[in-house]
Amino acid sequence: MASVKIACLGAGGGYFPGALGDIAVTPGLAGSEVTLYDLDLDKAELMAKLGRRFTAQAGTALRVRACADLADALDGASFAVSAIGGSGASMGNVYGTAVHNADIAIPAKYGIYQLIGDTGGPAGMMMGLRSIPVYLGICREMEKRCPEAFLVNHSNPMAVLCRALTKHSGIRVIGICHGVQNSIERVAELLGVEPEELEAVWIGTNHYYWFTRLRRHGRDVYPEVMAKTVARQDPPGQVLTGLLSRAYGYRLGYYSDDHTVEFYPFLAQVRDPAEMPYGLGGHAHARYAMPEPEREMPAAEQEALRKRQLQQLSEELDKRVLPDPSRSAIRGEMIGTLLEAIATGRREVRIVNIPNDGVVSNLPDYAILEVEAVTDSGGLRGIRVGEAPLALAGLLHKRIAWQELVADAGATGDRRLALQALLLDEMAIPPEKAAAMLDELLAASRHLLPQFA
């Protein structure tokens, strides 16, 4: 058992009800202190109430409290778990906020029709530029108050943020996502087996990877997987992924077309959202119209709205139940057992985003890849998988360079680097148009970009 301090940052957001449940049902973290910090203290207090209910139900005696300031939350922590959307204080998440709506609508004026906009493209870049200074501020506070702590990041753009913090701070950073786990589950469904039965090897960066080996009970099942991939009728939302898998001869891991397509130039090649390929035009076209300027709401109306939103959040949290502690790590992120394994020095294989450091021999060591890694008290060490196939290596080299440019632009406020990222991205447009688009994007988020002042 390891009694540690775990700081939850952005704790009022939608990630933390599940994370708090995972932590509460993890026996090895019993007696730990959990602090919750959010720009909106009332949201953190509601989340602390949920955490106290969970720990009482689980019997793990966690000490859960909300914090009014970041220093208090971090002081002496062993772990800081973050889920910050890069949109300032808001009642929901980053998607649908005024700044993210502008991230989608402004590029649409220039012929770039993004779908999700949190990993690549102009919108993914802007999300990174807004979040990086916030995260670096957290790292500076950690360097003073808990320099040996691990920062466990759940926010997008995952690879950009992890790279920026690894390069521009002294804090150890781990990124967690559930994409690979979901992808293994989809392959298991294709074969009609349980995910735990598969030995999977993959190569890629967050939200884009190929399976390079698939075995079950010691037998190579990759030929069977590819035969079923070739033969099947791809369901809506997985058409592009299926076509690419057949073209490459490798099963793409991330099965969702709306993420996959943002790694390719197709969204900058359509004249109208209705012409999007692979049925992706079903997304609301209203997203591509410039949003109306937000009405300045009187103070009394703002407060009434905020109270309604807090009441709604409280009602939603009252419905949350403890997760099943027996489920395997292949079926989710399982943040509680990840922290427990590091805190106790237990060796365990987990799926994380960390620097490559030799895991894939023909990609840069500094690149943030989504890999299998072994835990111990020193953190995580990636498991070597060999070379990426040539077509995948070429795609990833370009994406890694883009991530590096965005990470540095976000840390330094260098507009030229941001422009270079736009020109390198798969959704690139001519330089004079890219420069004009960049100016509009920066202006729309000016209040959240102190480094570009």
* Predicted confidence (pLDDT) per residue in 327-340, tens digit: 766 677 899 999 99
Pick from 88-97, 106-115, 400-409, 432-441: least confident: 88-97
Report which DSSP code applies to 448: G
Report which DSSP code applies to 405: H
Averaged pLDDT for residues 219-245: 95
Alpha carbons 262 and 310: distance in angstroms, whole number: 34
Asked if residue 165 is part of any domain, the answer here is yes
Asked if residue 369 is part of any domain, the answer here is yes
Could you tell me the residue range of the domain that residue 77 belongs to?
A: 5-93+123-179+329-382
Asked if residue 263 is part of any domain, the answer here is no
Q: Tokens standing for 250? A: 């490798």
What CATH number did the domain enclosing 140 receive?
3.90.1820.10
| Number of domains making up the chain | 1
309 residue type, one letter = Q
pLDDT at 81 over 60: yes
Asked if residue 392 is part of any domain, the answer here is no
Alpha carbons 111 and 262: distance in angstroms, whole number: 14
pLDDT at 90 over 70: no
Asked if residue 295 is part of any domain, the answer here is no
Q: Is the dihedral of CA 297, 298, 304, 310 positive or negative?
A: positive
Q: Considering the chain, what percentage of its residues have pLDDT values greater than 70? A: 96
Cα 31 to chain centroid, rounded:
29
Alpha carbons 453 and 446: distance in angstroms, whole number: 8
Using DSSP's 3-state secondary structure scheme, residue 409 falls into: helix
Using DSSP's 3-state secondary structure scheme, residue 299 falls into: helix
What are the strands of the beta sheet with 198-205, ordered from one edge? 198-205, 208-216, 219-220
53 CB-contact burial (10 Å; exposed 0-12 / middle 13-18 / buried 19+): middle
What's the pLDDT at 164?
Answer: 98
